[in-house]
Amino acid sequence: MTTKNIMIVGVGGQGSVLASKLLGHLLTKQGYDVKVSEVHGMSQRGGSVVTYVRYGDKVYSPVIDRGQADFIVSFEILEAARWLDYLSQDGQIVTSTQQIDPMPVLTGAMNYPENLLAEIQKTGAKVDALDCLKLAEQAGSSKAVNLVLLGRLSHYFTDITQEAWQEAISECVPQKFLDLNRKAFDLGRNA
Amino acid sequence: MKRLMQGNEAAARGLYEAGCCVASSYPGTPSTEITEEIAKYDDVYSEWSPNEKVSMETAFGASLAGRRSFCGMKHVGLNVAADPLFTVSYTGVNAGMVICVADDAGMHSSQNEQDSRHYAKAAKLPMLEPSDSQEALDYFKAAYEISEKFDAPVIVKMCTRVAHSQSLVEAGERQEVPERPYEKNIAKYVMMPGNAIKRHPVVEERMKRLADFAETSGLNRIDDGSDKSTGIVTSSTCYQYVKEALGDKFPVLKLGMIWPMPERKLKNFADTVDRLVIVEELDGFIEEHCKILGLKCEGKSLFGYLGELSQNIIAEKLGLPVTRGRKLDDSVKIPARPPLMCAGCPHRGLFFTLNQAGCTVLGDIGCYTLGAVAPLSAMDMTLCMGASVSAVHGFSKAGGKNVVAVIGDSTFMHSGMTGLANIAYNQSKSTVIILDNSITGMTGHQQNPTTGLNIKGDPAGKIDLESLCRAMGFNRVRVVDPYNLKECADVLREELDADESSVIISRRPCALLKHVKHNPPLTVDTAKCVGCKSCMKIGCPALSMKGGKAHVDETLCVGCGVCEQRCKFGAFKGGE
């Protein structure tokens, strides 16, 4: 099969590392060649962060280029908009509706763009938007947004069973947070 | 079974399997995780050392004593270690010695974009360049064989995309390598002129043998292609971009050993194609060498010298179609989201104090470099590790006033101490502020000589900063709590007004450390808030203006109380 591309975008500290770890683990167990690429260091300090997950028969590049993402999984609407240029023509956005003001907005130098979700949809992009923060809190922690998003994303992977997802969760999440994360995943999946 | 492994983790696995016994490094993105991963293997002694020069000399000592050794660093770290590098090339090694340097094209977390391949050429040492995690593991193992066979330390060059990407790896078993007993050899290891003169021809002769090795080594290989109108020479992560963009269309000569280069192989490959294209990030290292060999080729004229390449850039420059994404309406302006100091960062209070005092701030390398970001804007210079302390001395000697150096605890240990010695010795009226957050922050919380813990988190020696500064001759050594704005402002004024040099230690642990207990988030009494935005001047990401009133994001706030001290109207309330 041709290589499939998933981008995980958000703000440093939101939990994209666990999300990419889980996806990488899941897809490896499905027998695919997998590459996951992220950047550590300064950008993690509250900056815009992006992780690339690629899988298929044979994957070369560790990064996804413009117009190549089959999925953009976004923790924050502004970040989905920032990386829109990377979405493929029939790509799907799965995003949390959370808004986090970046420093230029906090200081009043710029405004957070209005009706951003509608602006993204106007480009023809397919958008699945969900209040993941609310669902994560419902599951027991605002930190579980990553699993809510993965639960939502799992919808679109018709060839990967629910059991395989559950197995990957139990193998990647610390035991004491397992119930919380399972609940968050289910809330996202069934929303 | 194959496992998904980060390049740095695979590198560490390779070192482990090769029987490496001693690893000494200074953390630096994107190299840090190699040594963090080695620390998980009990068969390997590992440590964080104060700086890269110390690391390399430690690794050399271990090699001399007869054990395979390692030191790892980021590209700019190799500048610090360049002194031993150029001469360990002359002495050669006893047991294998491997040096990792990790470049950061695109400057994801660095102050420059230098191309470290030049060091291999300049120091006359072999350099390998893996292009994914499996190669990282394999090349680090191969590096020890080359090191012992050719009596030379071997450099393995990583880059951000190899170091921080995960790909599938088949791990092997550790090979226990017998100790090579140390034998005294003054002519080989004591590099005074009379001996070094005799070692230089050995180095030149070694380069010839290494060049022959490069011709036949499987590290340099050709992937055949159906279309011989173009042939590509590439290495490292660029190889992956080339294959992604072109598949098996054009033949590709992949250089796993980037120095010395296989000259006959390059010439023969060039003969098989009509057009030779060199795909490499940053400098035209391969291209220049090809041109010295008299080969007609293109490279930098297509791809330039800046930043990272990608599959689309390569396709586009070779006239192939590229994918395009979706575009937002031009009227939608997307604000940038630069990295910033975390909520509750102990550096914030200190930088706010410097901002208010109108100081010229000579900065250094670490999280606190973010003190330059608006609205704090409290940094005037950042150059390299330790430069703040040396430069404040020069600034003061040249008549500069109201100036301070700011440097973190780990950076101070790395190369701030020598600058401080210069202030103590040559007596400038300088004020040095050590931002002691009890950890190496930016690279993700590594221990250092001031924290009292070693790389495994076990108790270790602990250097006392106050005693150290006093021992150097500083009479004025003050300690402040950066969460206390008044104390910071008063002490700063006193030390700037003092008639001698001084050290201020701004001490509070990093707010992200697990053992640091946070206070409940603050709240705003909107009846008292007049919307003056005085609190906004501290640049805290937990603070914003909502409906003309200050607002605290309770998921981010750690209750440090710095904003509360800014409010004349008592609008902030401590959390319950």
DSSP A156-167: T-TTS-HHHHHH
**Do B29 and A40 make contact, defined as CB atoms within 8 angstroms?**
yes
Q: Quick check: is B514 in a domain?
A: no
Q: Is A151 helix (H, G, I), strand (E, B) or coil?
A: helix
Residue among B322, B334, B342 whose CB faces A113 most closely: B334
Q: Domains (ranges, CATH) in chain A?
A: 4-108+115-136 (3.40.920.10)
Give the confidence band of A4 by pLDDT, cuts at 50, 70, 90. very high
Neighbours of B492 (CB within 10 A): 23
CA angle B410, A40, B384 (to 5 degrees): 40
Domain CATH for B91 = 3.40.50.970
Neighbours of B495 (CB within 10 A): 22
DSSP structure string for B140-152: HHHHHHHHHHHTS
**Do B444 and A40 make contact, defined as CB atoms within 8 angstroms?**
yes
Q: How far apart are CA A116 and CA A79, in angstroms?
A: 11
Residues of A in contact with B167 (CB under 8 A): 33-36, 59, 62
Neighbours of B460 (CB within 10 A): 16
| Residue B405: DSSP 8-state | E
Per-residue tokens: B563: 């904003």
Lowest mean pLDDT among B193-197, B217-221, B336-340: B336-340
Residue among A39, A46, A67 whose CB faces B342 most closely: A46
Residues of A in contact with B158 (CB under 8 A): none
Q: Quick check: is B512 in a domain?
A: no
**Nearest to B61, CA basis, from B90, B100, B22:** B22
Per-residue tokens: B431: 């004020």
Do B252 and B148 belong together in one domain?
A: no
Please determine, for residue B574, whether its predicted confidence score (pLDDT) is greater than 90: no
Give the confidence band of B556 by pLDDT, cuts at 50, 70, 90. confident
Is some CB atom of chain A closer than 8 A to the CB atom of B164? yes
Q: How far apart are CA B126 and CA B214, in angstroms?
A: 10
Q: Is B7 exposed, middle or buried (0-12, 13-18, 19+ CB in 10 A)?
A: buried
Please determine, for residue A25, whether its predicted confidence score (pLDDT) is greater than 90: yes
pLDDT value of residue B363: 97
Q: Strand pairing partners for A4?
A: A55
Do B85 and B206 belong together in one domain?
A: yes
Task: Report strand pairing: B252-255 vs B220-223.
Answer: antiparallel
Q: What are phi and psi of B191, to 5 degrees?
A: -90, 65
pLDDT value of residue A43: 56
Using CA atoms of B450, B451, B455, B457 in order, give the dihedral in degrees to the nearest 10.
160
**Do B444 and A25 make contact, defined as CB atoms within 8 angstroms?**
no
**Do B444 and A104 make contact, defined as CB atoms within 8 angstroms?**
no
- Distance from the B308 Cα atom to the nearest Cα atom in chain A, whole angstroms: 11
Residues of B in contact with A69 (CB under 8 A): 325
**Nearest to A33, CA basis, from A58, A61, A66:** A58
Peptide bond into B30 cis (omega under 30): yes
Domain extent at residue B244: 220-317
Q: Is B388 exposed, middle or buried (0-12, 13-18, 19+ CB in 10 A)?
A: buried
pLDDT value of residue B576: 58
**Rounded alpha-carbon distances, angstroms, from residue B545 to A11, B333, B334, B534, B537:** 20, 20, 19, 11, 12
Q: Quick check: is B417 in a domain?
A: yes
Lowest mean pLDDT among A35-39, B15-19, B198-202, B457-461: A35-39
pLDDT value of residue B21: 98
pLDDT tens, position by position, B432-468: 999 999 998 888 899 999 999 999 999 999 999 999 9
The distance in angstroms from the start CA to the end CA of chain A is: 30
Residues of A in contact with B337 (CB under 8 A): 11, 46-48, 78-79, 82, 102-103
CA angle A100, A105, A111 (to 5 degrees): 105
User: Which of B107, B131, B166, B557 has the highest number of chain A CBs within 10 A, making it the mutation to test binding with A?
Assistant: B166
**Do B326 and A123 make contact, defined as CB atoms within 8 angstroms?**
yes
- Distance from the A132 Cα atom to the nearest Cα atom in chain B, whole angstroms: 15
Q: Quick check: is B93 in a domain?
A: yes
Do B111 and B195 belong together in one domain?
A: yes
A112: nearest CA in chain B?
A: B335
B365: nearest CA in chain A?
A: A42
Is some CB atom of chain A closer than 8 A to the CB atom of B377? no
Q: At a CB cut-off of 8 Å and minimum separation 6, what does B192 contact? A: none
Residues of B in contact with A68 (CB under 8 A): 312, 323, 325
Asked if B213 contacts B147 with a C-beta cutoff of 8 angstroms, the reply is no
Please determine, for residue A46, whether its predicted confidence score (pLDDT) is greater than 90: no
- Distance from the B332 Cα atom to the nearest Cα atom in chain A, whole angstroms: 7
Is some CB atom of chain A closer than 8 A to the CB atom of B29? yes
Contact map slice: B 525-544 vs A, CB within 8 A: 536, 539, 541, 543-544
Is some CB atom of chain A closer than 8 A to the CB atom of B5? no
Q: Is A50 exposed, middle or buried (0-12, 13-18, 19+ CB in 10 A)?
A: buried
Residue among B30, B132, B161 whose CB faces A40 most closely: B30
User: Which of A4, A34, A103 has the highest number of chain B CBs within 10 A, making it the mutation to test binding with B?
Assistant: A103
Do B351 and B460 belong together in one domain?
A: yes
Contact map slice: B 248-287 vs A, CB within 8 A: none
Q: Quick check: is B518 in a domain?
A: no
Is some CB atom of chain A closer than 8 A to the CB atom of B340? yes
**Do B3 and A28 make contact, defined as CB atoms within 8 angstroms?**
yes
Average pLDDT, chain B: 96
Do B501 and B527 belong together in one domain?
A: no
Q: How far apart are CA A182 and CA A180, in angstroms?
A: 6
For residues B156-179, give the mean pLDDT.
97
Q: How far apart are CA B360 and CA B362, in angstroms?
A: 7
pLDDT value of residue A12: 84
Q: Quickly list H helices, B110-173.
A: 117-123, 133-150, 160-163
- Distance from the A182 Cα atom to the nearest Cα atom in chain B, whole angstroms: 22
Do B207 and B277 belong together in one domain?
A: no
Q: How far apart are CA B406 and CA B368, in angstroms?
A: 9
Q: How far apart are CA B485 and CA B562, in angstroms?
A: 7
**Rounded alpha-carbon distances, angstroms, from residue A55 to A106, B7, B260, B267:** 38, 17, 35, 36
pLDDT value of residue B446: 94
Chain centre to alpha carbon of residue B186: 35
Percent above pLDDT 70 for chain A = 97
Number of domains observed in the structure of chain B: 4
Q: Quick check: is B324 in a domain?
A: no
Q: Quick check: is B333 in a domain?
A: no
Is some CB atom of chain A closer than 8 A to the CB atom of B311? yes
**Rounded alpha-carbon distances, angstroms, from residue B70 to B104, B132, B377:** 20, 20, 40
**Do B310 and A119 make contact, defined as CB atoms within 8 angstroms?**
no
Answer with the one of B483, B507, B531 that is the final residue of a domain.
Answer: B507
Do B267 and B388 belong together in one domain?
A: no
pLDDT value of residue B575: 67
**Do A65 and B334 make contact, defined as CB atoms within 8 angstroms?**
no
pLDDT value of residue A47: 87
Do B493 and B533 belong together in one domain?
A: no
CA angle A23, A26, A27 (to 5 degrees): 85
Average pLDDT, chain A: 94
Domain CATH for B554 = 3.30.70.20
- Distance from the B224 Cα atom to the nearest Cα atom in chain A, whole angstroms: 16
Do B16 and B150 belong together in one domain?
A: yes
Do B195 and B88 belong together in one domain?
A: yes
pLDDT value of residue B518: 94
DSSP structure string for B486-508: HHHHHHHHHHHHSSS-EEEEEE-
Do B533 and B489 belong together in one domain?
A: no
Residue type, B507: R
Sign of CA pseudo-dihedral A166, A170, A171, A172: positive
**Do A88 and B338 make contact, defined as CB atoms within 8 angstroms?**
no
Peptide bond into B449 cis (omega under 30): no
Do B286 and B365 belong together in one domain?
A: no
Residues, chain A, total?
A: 191
**Nearest to B130, CA basis, from B215, B38, B34, B272:** B34
- Distance from the A186 Cα atom to the nearest Cα atom in chain B, whole angstroms: 23
The CA radius of gyration of chain A, in Å to the nearest whole number, is 16
Please determine, for residue B492, whether its predicted confidence score (pLDDT) is greater than 60: yes
**Do B165 and A62 make contact, defined as CB atoms within 8 angstroms?**
yes
pTM of the model: 0.96
Please determine, for residue A44, whether its predicted confidence score (pLDDT) is greater than 70: no
Q: Strand pairing partners for B363?
A: none
**Nearest to A61, CA basis, from B310, B333, B395, B388:** B310
**Rounded alpha-carbon distances, angstroms, from residue B344 to B87, B349, B509:** 46, 9, 10
- Distance from the B65 Cα atom to the nearest Cα atom in chain A, whole angstroms: 35
B537: nearest CA in chain A?
A: A107
Q: Quick check: is B92 in a domain?
A: yes
**Do B164 and A39 make contact, defined as CB atoms within 8 angstroms?**
yes
**Rounded alpha-carbon distances, angstroms, from residue B462 to B448, B452, B459, B466:** 9, 4, 9, 12
Residues of A in contact with B544 (CB under 8 A): 101, 105-106
For residues A117-137, give the mean pLDDT.
96
